[in-house]
Structure 1
Amino acid sequence: MNLSSAYAHVLGNETDRLALLAIKDKITQDPSGILYSWNKSIHFCNWEGVICSQRHQRVIMLDLMSKGIIGSLSPYIGNLSFLRTIDLRNNSFHSQIPHEIGRLFRLQILLMGNNSFSGQLPTNLSQCSNLINFTIGHNNLVGEIPMDFGSLSKLIALGLHDNNLTGRIPASFGNLSSLEALGLTSNKFYGSIPGSITQLQSLLYISLADNMFSGMVPQSFYNISSLQYISFAKNQLEGSLPPEIGLNLPNLFGFLIGGNQFSGSIPISLVSNASKLQNLDLAYNSFTGNVPIEVGSLQDLQVLALGTNGLGGGGKDDDMKFLTSLNNCSNLQLLDIYGNQFGGRLPISVVNLSNTFGYLYLGNNQIVGSLPSEIGNLVNLMLLSVEMNFLTGIIPKGIGMLQNLQYLGLSGNRFSGQIPDSVGNNSQLYYLDLSDNKLEGNVLSNFEKYQSLQILNLSHNHFTGTIPKKLFELSGHLTTLSLAHNSLFGQIPSEVGNLQNLQSLDISENKLTGDIPVTLGDCLSLESLYLQGNILGGVIPSSLSHLKGLKNFDISRNNLSGDIPKYLENLLLLKSLNLSFNNLEGEVPTKGIFQNASAISLVGNSKLCGGMAKLELEKCYFKKSEKHGMHLALKVALGVLLPSLVIASLLLAFCFTRRPGTRPSSEEFLKDGLERISYNELRKATDGFSLSNLIGVGSYGSVYKGVLHQNEGPIAVKVLNLMETGASKSFIAECEVLRKVRHRNLLKILTVCSSVDFEGNDFKALVFKFMHNGSVEDWLHPSSDSVLLPRYLNLWQMLNIAIDVAFALDYLHNHCEIPIVHCDLKSSNILLDHDMAARVGDFGLAKFLRKTSSGSGTNESNSFAVRGTIGYIPPEYGMGAQVSTQGDLYSYGIFLLEMLTGKRPTDMMFKDGVNLHQWTRLALTDQGVMDIIDTRLVSEGDPNETTYDSDMHKYTREQLQECIISIMNIGVACSAESIVERMEIKDVLAQMHAIKKKFAQI
């Protein structure tokens, strides 16, 4: 090496070192400590995350993946001129992507997914002519794809999914001759699919799902024979599929076009020649005709989704002939033909579907005949939906053999006879709907086995006898119970008060007698109570005043007597009240719901008087002695209350006079950094807040899915129920927190609304980006809305989720200007985005902590109200302690144990002083961990030979057990009863990273 080249070599090395230090300077938080090694005492080629070439000692790779880093990316990265690989995935980099990256002409791999990069894609990235993989999914990018990207002729993979990109696919993409994978899912792209894309003859994978693409797919697109995976789901595409599609695409294993406007018939070639198909989703389109019988030749088929089309012949015997052919599909897990025109008898062959078969949707068709008695052969069936058909005969006893059944929908048919006792064996059921049939006999009494049951509907049948008391032992989870329109008699059992999570109770239109049970007042979650059309007597019990969430109350057409209770005025959420045709008497209240004549019905109570003028009732007349007594009572009350009222008025005046340090109003929060949106825009986005768009209900309101603008992706709208005590305060708290935090593992607020609705009522809402994979709770404890596909979390996913949540807590507790305590960390508040990255949401109970002289945080409020959700609340809160970061650690520990065991902290098994923490700790002590974990984490077999697939990682049972125990020990340590025994979040992160590193190297 001559002198000049040696000088250039040294100078180049120094340039790299200075560039790395400039990158370090832009990083504000490094929780994993990766940058500690970036110092003068160590050569930069030995710095963690830096890889150099052996010959020139120049940086060729920068690997900072999954380090929890927060900061921006320095433009000096453009000085690392020998870089070939940049991997920044799974961090919290923000701000714009520096255009200096375009100077890295040697760059081949650029991975920046799962961050918070904003702004537009740099146009000069097209100068990175050697780029083969560019993935920047799950960020906050806006704008259009630069036309010049079409010049990246060596590009093999391009992933821009889960951003806010808009515009059309550039026609220049036809020049990407090497492209094998194109992912544009979940953006705001619109327009037609350009014909130039058909020039990509190397394409293997393409996903344009969840955008606003319209028009027809270019016919020549279906001639790209290399294609293996196509997803155009959830767009506005139309047209028919070419007859030869399967001949031209023989390598397809995934074809997902559900949620569009495709029409025509299903091409025979698609199911006969595309023999590798595993997932075929044609649901929610307008396909017609019969399903080709050749579908049974797809031996690798796992999911066949044909629901909500116009398939079938409306009653022809061969409508469902294709079901018999599916017996050849040994891997089939889900079959959905719901909402079509299939008729005729259900083939007996349906009971011979694969051993892995779990989900069968046959509802809303025209199927006749009986349900096969051999249905019990489908031993792994988890969901059976045959509602709204014309099925007759008895409910087969074989259903009782389905030990894994969770959802059973038989409503809207013509089933007769009694409910077989064997149905009581389905102990995993959470949804049972037998309504609108011709069933008779007594209501099944062995309900005590249904400890997971949430929804039970036996209405509109011919049941007789009394309501069994055992029915009300389902106190753990039951939210909806309907026995309406039967012939039940006797009294309502007082045990009904055990159903403390019950939201809707309908036992109307029976022959029930006796009083309304006082214990109904213990059902504090009740929103709808229907007792009409019975023979109930006595008075309306005062205990019902406890039902603060009651919205619908109907006790009409009974024999009730006495006054209308004044407490009904104070049930602020009450929207409908029917007291008609009873023997009620006395004065009608005039406040609350009684101010709305259209919301109440009092007809058929001849002794009522007073009330608002619109009711047109007679005036009330009182005797002189009664008036005197009332006046005396009023004087006594005023003598007691006036001093208190004066004090309260002074306090109110004091509170509304703002002083430095007092809490600002919601309007002031909205003026400080959060863009606002109108009520009308949100109403249109959610189709008038329709029930079909309702995706969740919480303590202070409801969440709706919607689309704000035609060319944008879906949003989640959290509408506050301002009649609920604390809702406005929750809105202010959430605004206050969300405007001050920014982290990739926190749910990001898009906009807010503080306005009035069309009736002049106050309206407040928060708008977030829609999280496609729901909450962790949806995966751990699937409900009727979340079992459309068989899904569960494997251990690798759980580990990543646990780390994501720990990052979020570490940021809130240690890296915010003012430390923040979440106060309601639980599985339902941890949401999963398109790539299964966890984002913590719902800051309605969050509290800011003020720093003390010792550096610790104390609560800014002197309130000792218990904050959080039962099961996740740390024990010290129940004893009056102020909120603290250690309280969040307790909730985090419980969350970890919930994920690993699959048990809710409020599970019925936890009683007599034993909770989830103690149960898990005992199992760790007794070496019985594998007996208590969620069975979905492992499979049966030889512990030394069987491997367990976890996100494309395979492990022996022993290795899996070691990882589970390590995580479980962290969960137990975090949820210790004593604060001083709990782990610190930084230690949690360090141990979690160590577990992940070891687990990944096995």
Structure 2
Amino acid sequence: MVLLLSLQLVSSETDGDALLAFKARVTDPTGALASWNASTHFCRRWAGVTCTAGRVTSLDVSERRLTGTLSPSIGNLTYLSSLNLNQNGISGSIPASLGRLRRLSYLSLCDNAFSGEIPDALRNCTALSALYLNDNRLTGGVPDRLGGALMPYLMYLGLGTNHLSGRIPPSLANITMLSLLGLDQNFLEGTVPDDLSRLTNLMSLNVYQSRLAGEIPPFLFNMSSLQGLTLANNAFEGELPADAGVPTAIGKLCLQALQLSNNELTGGWEFLEGLTNCTSLSEISLDGNRFTGAMPSAIIARLSPNLQTLKLGGNGGISGVIPPGIGNIVGLQTLDFESNLLSGAIPEGIGKLRNLKELRLQQNKLTGPIPSSIGDLSQLLVIDLSNNFLNGSIPPSLGDLQQLTLLNLSGNQLTGHVPGEVFKLSSLSSAMDLSGNRLDGTLPGDVGQLAKLALLAVSRNRFSGEVPPELGLCASLEFLDLDSNSFTGSIPSSFKSLKGLRRLNLTSNELSGSIPPELGQMSGLQELYLSRNELSGRIPAELENVTSLKELDLSYNDLDGPVPLRGVFTNTTGFQMAGNGALCGGAARLRLPPCPNSIRRGHVFLKIALPIIVGGVALCLGMLISTLLCCRKKRRNSPTADNNTARSVLNGNNYPRVSYAELARATDSFAEDNLIGVGKYGSVYRGTLSLKTNGSCVHEDVVVAVKVFHLRQVGASKTFVSEIQALRSVKHRNLISIVTCCSSIDADGNDFRALVFDFMPNYSLDRWLHPSSASNESKEGRVLSVTQRFNVAVDIADALNYLHNSCTPPIIHCDLKPSNVLLGDDMTAYIGDFGLAKLILDPGCHDAATTESTIGVRGTIGYVAPEYGTSGKVSTNGDVYSFGIMLLEIFVGKAPTDAAFRDGLTLQEFVAGAFPEKIEQILDPALLPIEGSSDGINSGSEESVVRVTVRDCLLSAVKVGLSCCRQAPCQRMVMKDAAVELRRIRHACVRACGQ
């Protein structure tokens, strides 16, 4: 008895020591573990600790903002049955000592920053019923041993949103009790193994956004236990089983959610017939596939009234009319038919969908009026009917939608006055876009009631009358586009109240009078377009104090007098003033004539003041030296605008902070031996930085890439801020990750700006495509195979598709080229260098032509879209052009600036001249002879066999490239279609190569 008591005391002390060891390895910014001290026993008042019979059985410190690493001593809590660390910032590897916790039944490490591979030792936790490791940075494959027979109780396995690669191990089928399997957002390849058919208890399968391909396994449609099937954002192909009488028909599988978006599925619509009997089905998401043909009106009208989400958008080839019986699906909350070929009128029956919250019908060929019955949909939050052929007037009933946050009717043929009721929709917060129609009349003062609205666009209509001063009451406005109308009168001085306004566009109207000086009080203004009006008088000097202003277009007015000397007026690309013949003075680079009055005043001044000046030169020089020394000291201690920007955009993201001294040490004082790249605005160095990862007290040596900006180069400081602003809002596996930034002073007292990124050991794509262009490095054996080139192309396409269509707000990269594509250790491609990136400023507007932003020419010669040189406007079409050029370069091996292209010959013309018969003559010699060109794969029936070779795949890829870089923007593929097509071609290539 004494021995047993002694063992219990020792074990109890071991538990306490293990907890203290855990606390020692983490940082606790909120004091959540403050109660963990010697004043009380850990079983009594230690937060998150639960004991049974003096032993720790549960540890729950989730959502405590802890950072640091997980101590291996956690494995000493041998009576632990539940460990919950989710939603913290803990990093480092998962300790193998967790395998000693044989009583552990619940383990959740999700939403942290764990890295490294999943330890095989976890298979020893034989009592586990739930294992959640999702939302970390884990690498390697899904451990084959995890699916051993030693985990008989495991029901929930969550490994999603990591960096796992390889195939789904068939051994997972041995976990017979498995109910939930989450493998989403990884780099998994292959297909879903047939062995998983043995998981007869599986209720949810989620492999969203990976690299899976092939046909959807038929066994999935036999799993009667399955309730949720999420296979979206992969490369699955083929037709869905259609006949309800066939054992593998999709109708036999009555799911709660069918999510197959963004694959390569094709075929007819017969499979939907089987789903009409699924009363529990709440979601059908088939958008972003390749379905074609007329929409099956009769079938859709018979879908379950409990259906909440129906998404068929982005297929591109769905035709016919919107089913008149759509109103029968009374439970619908989301209806998405966008980007197809639907025609005819919007049915009045749509007004029966009283639960509808999102209505997206944009980019079709719909005609007729907007049905007034839409006003009955009182729950609507989003209406997007843009880019159709709708006509008639805007129904006043839209004013009854008191919960509406986004209204986009742009790009149609609507006429008449805008009902005043629409301008009273105080719930509108995201956007009201009426641009590109034939609307007329005046803007009423009621527009001032849109106090929450971020974007108001009425461009390219026939509005007249004065710009209402009540717009100054719209305190939340960020983007105001009134261009290309017939507005008269003066610019309201009330605009000074719009402190958050980032863009004001009044181009091409009939405005007169002077530019109000009050615009200089709009401290957040970044873009101001006033060209092609009848404005007169002088340019207000107050505008030079708007430090945020980067684009100012005053061209083609009647302005006169001196041009201010500071701020945006020193930017020759951002400031436009052509067509104002009476302007004078300004910065020397503007090359304007001197102002006559200033010359005469200068003569008088010199005549009177010269003796005084000469007499005080010595005194002034002494004071100047003292002032410079004082300013230099202040400069070292004063934050700059860029510093404030850097802090604001990185705040709250748990980024470690680094100083100039730390970066100098990391790169050996920016030694030339560590220089890995030089661009117009900066140099990139390899360095080893000791970081407090995620705020931990433990330092780790991390290899990083340090981009130092050349601040003497005009525009470098702007690109520093632009790159931070772009990267803070994106999260995609194929976009470069920012580690931190440095905005400081160097050793000489000069401004210093640098960004720190994850280091990419295989450097840029440019080095692989053109080895001779990189010096001081042996390039023997550095040749990309056909499959690797396809992987890189798909990675880039997926990232651009995300930037254009899934990022909020959408982003145009503006400088896509091989040197801005980096390759990780596994040859995964990452897009970097967002210094020229442009945020699309029209949320909810998907037509590239309507999301352009007027700027100077952006990009690199050879890759920049031709329209950038004439219109000065960027669009997603421009990125597509650059991608097309780069896609050709990947397979041809020649840059668009290659010396072979002379006398006006371009890369795309060079390729088109050999396409398709002479493709071998222009392909990269490193690919010749073409891999697998003598072999192939068969598709089709025995009577008609089609042989798909690697040559066929290369031809298809080149065709995509040529389609992307067509001269006319409207003729280019959209990025979403290019990404889907390249995934399909890559899959065929892998099969042809026998991989």
TM-score category, normalised to shorter length: 0.5 to 0.7
1:517 and 2:516 aligned: yes
SS of residue in 2 equivalent to 1:672:
strand
* Amino acid aligned to 1:113: C
The one of 300, 310, 321 equivalent to 2:306 is 300
Q: In structure 2, which of residues 133, 136, 158 is the aligned counterpart of residue 136 of structure 1? A: 133
Alpha-carbon distance in structure 1 between the residues aligned to 2:39 and 2:564: 79
For residues 744-823 of structure 1, the aligned pairs below 5 Å read none
Rounded Cα–Cα distance in structure 1 between residues aligned with 2:688 and 2:17: 36
What is the match of residue 261 of structure 2? 258
Distance 1:341 1:216, change over 3 A: same
Question: What does 1:407-806 correspond to in 2, within 5 Å?
Answer: 407-430=406-429, 431-474=431-474, 476-567=475-566, 571=570, 575-587=573-585, 589-591=587-589, 594=590, 608-609=592-593, 636=613, 639=617, 642-650=621-629, 664=661, 667-668=664-665, 672-673=689-690, 675=702, 701-703=725-727, 712=733
User: How far, CA to CA, are the matches of 2:551 and 2:234 in structure 1?
Assistant: 38
Please, what is the CA RMSD of the aligned residues?
A: 4.7
Once the two structures are TM-superposed, the CA of residue 325 in structure 1 deviates from its matched residue by 3.1
Q: Aligned partners of 2:350, 2:31: CA distance in 1, in Å?
A: 54
Q: State how far apart, in whole Å, the 1-side matches of 2:536 and 2:740 are.
A: 39
CA 1:96–1:330 in 2, change beyond 3 Å: closer, same or farther? Answer: same
Mean Cα displacement is larger for which, 242-251 or 164-173?
242-251
The Cα of 1:371 is off from its aligned counterpart by 0.6
Q: Which deviates more from structure 2 when the two are superposed, residues 156-165 or residues 39-48?
A: 39-48
AA aligned opposite 2:575: L
Counterparts of residues 383-422 of structure 1 (less than 5 Å)? 383-422=382-421
Q: How far is 1:221 from its partner? A: 2.9
Counterpart of 1:703, as a letter, is: L
Q: Of residues 138, 145, 150 in structure 1, which corresponds to 2:147? A: 150
Match of 2:8 among 2, 7, 13: 13
Distance 1:525 1:69 in 2: 35
SS across alignment from 1:141:
strand
**1:863-882 aligned within 5 A:** none
Count matched residues.
Answer: 695
Q: Per-residue displacement from partner, 1:130-155 (whole Å, max 9, x unpaired)?
A: 43322223334333222111103442
Give the conservation status (yes or no) of the 8 Å contact 2:541–2:564: yes
Please say if residues 291 and 318 of structure 2, whose CA atoms lie closer than 8 Å, have aligned partners that are also in contact.
no
Alpha-carbon distance, 1:84 to partner: 4.3
Q: How does 1:109-508 map to 2 (within 5 A)?
A: 109-151=106-148, 152-243=151-242, 247=250, 250-266=253-269, 267-269=271-273, 271-293=275-297, 294-296=299-301, 297-313=303-319, 316=320, 319-321=321-323, 324-354=324-354, 356-430=355-429, 431-474=431-474, 476-508=475-507
Give ranges in structure 1 of 5+ residues lacking alignment: 1-5, 595-601, 603-607, 612-619, 683-688, 736-748, 759-769, 775-781, 787-1002
CA distance in 1: counterparts of 2:809 and 2:152, whole angstroms: 47
Question: Partners of 2:636 and 2:60 in 1: how far apart?
Answer: 55
Q: Report the Cα distance in structure 2 between the residues aligned to 1:33 and 1:250, rounded to whole angstroms.
A: 47
Aligned residue in 2 for 1:879: none
- Aligned partners of 2:333 and 2:101: how far apart in 1? 47
Equivalent residue number for residue 988 of structure 1: none
- In the aligned structure 2, how far is the partner of 1:625 from the partner of 1:114? 68
Distance 1:718 1:554 in 2: 36
> Conserved in 2, the CA contact under 8 Å of 1:552 and 1:577?
yes
* 1:764-817, Cα deviation, whole Å (9 max, x unpaired): xxxxxx99xx9xxxxxxx99879xxxxxxxxxxxxxxxxxxxxxxxxxxxxxxx
CA-CA distance at 1:409 after TM superposition: 0.9
Deviations 1:913-947 (A, max 9, x none): xxxxxxxxxxxxxxxxxxxxxxxxxxxxxxxxxxx
Output the TM-score relative to the length of structure 2. 0.61
Counterpart of 1:578 in structure 2: which amino acid?
A: Q
Name the TM-score, length of structure 1 as normaliser: 0.61
Instruction: Map Cα deviations across residues 514-547 of structure 1 (whole Å, 9 max, x no partner).
Output: 1122222122222222222222221222122122
Q: Deviations over 1:228-264 (max 9, x none)?
A: 1122233344333222576455331122222333333
Work out the CA distance in 1 between the residues paired with 2:597 and 2:314.
62
C-alpha displacement of 1:37: 7.8
CA offsets, 1:169-198, max 9 Å, x none? 223223222211111233343443333333
Gaps of 5+ in 2: 638-657, 667-686, 692-701, 710-715, 767-797, 812-995
Change in Cα spacing, 1:62 to 1:623, as seen in structure 2 (3 Å) is closer
Between the aligned partners of 2:284 and 2:564, the Cα distance in structure 1 is 58
In 2: Cα distance, 1:545 partner to 1:174 partner = 68
Question: Once the 2 structures are TM-superposed, how far is the Cα of residue 348 of structure 1 from its aligned partner?
Answer: 0.8
Name the structure 2 match of 1:743: none
Q: SS state of the match for residue 177, structure 1?
A: coil
Q: Secondary structure at the match of 1:563?
A: strand
Question: What is the Cα deviation at residue 90 of structure 1?
Answer: 4.6
How far apart are the structure 1 equivalents of 2:39 and 2:566?
Answer: 74
Q: Contact 1:539–1:561 (CA<8 Å) still a contact in 2? A: yes
Q: Which amino acid in 2 is paired with 1:279?
A: E
Whether the 8 Å CA contact 1:407–1:784 is kept in 2: the answer is: no
TM-superposed CA distance for 1:385, in Å, is 0.9
| Deviation, structure 1 residue 714 | 5.7
Equivalent-residue separation in structure 2 for 1:186 and 1:465 (angstroms): 53
Once residues 301 and 454 of structure 1 are traced to their aligned partners in structure 2, the CA distance between those partners, rounded to angstroms, is: 32
What CA distance in whole angstroms lies between the structure 2 residues aligned with 1:251 and 1:722? 56
* Counterpart contact for 2:705–2:758, Cα < 8 Å: no
Tell me how far 1:53 sits from its aligned partner: 6.6
Structure 1 residue 280, shift from structure 2 partner: 2.1
Q: Deviation of residue 78 (structure 1)?
A: 4.5
Q: Displacement of 1:347 after TM fit? A: 0.7
Give the aligned partner of residue 807 of structure 1.
none
Structure 1 CA distance, aligned partners of 2:446 and 2:405? Answer: 17
Q: Could you say if the C-alpha distance between residues 275 and 432 of structure 1 is closer, same or farther in structure 2, counting changes exceeding 3 Å?
A: same
Q: 1:53 to 1:299 in 2, by over 3 A?
A: same
CA deviation vs aligned residue, 1:259-287 (integer Å, no higher than 9, x gap): 33333344224532433221222222322
Contact 1:701 1:721 in 2 (8 A): no
Cα deviation, residue 334, structure 1: 1.4
> Contact 1:21 / 1:38 at 8 angstroms: preserved in 2?
no
1:460–1:697: structure 2 CA closer, same or farther, 3 Å change rule?
farther
**Which stretch shows the higher mean deviation, 357-366 or 303-312?**
303-312
Is the 8 Å Cα contact of residues 720 and 731 (structure 1) preserved in structure 2? no
CA distance in 2, matches of 1:699, 1:247: 46
Q: Is the 8 A contact 1:480 1:504 kept in 2?
A: yes
Contact 2:663 2:689 (C-alpha < 8 Å) held by counterparts: no
Instruction: Return the alpha-carbon distance in structure 2 between the equivalents of residues 533 and 40 of structure 1.
Output: 76
Q: State the shift of 1:206 in Å.
A: 1.5
Render the CA deviation track for 1:863-892: whole Å, top value 9, x for unaligned.
xxxxxxxxxxxxxxxxxxxxxxxxxxxxxx
Separation in structure 1 between the aligned mates of residue 600 and residue 489 of structure 2, nearest angstrom: 43
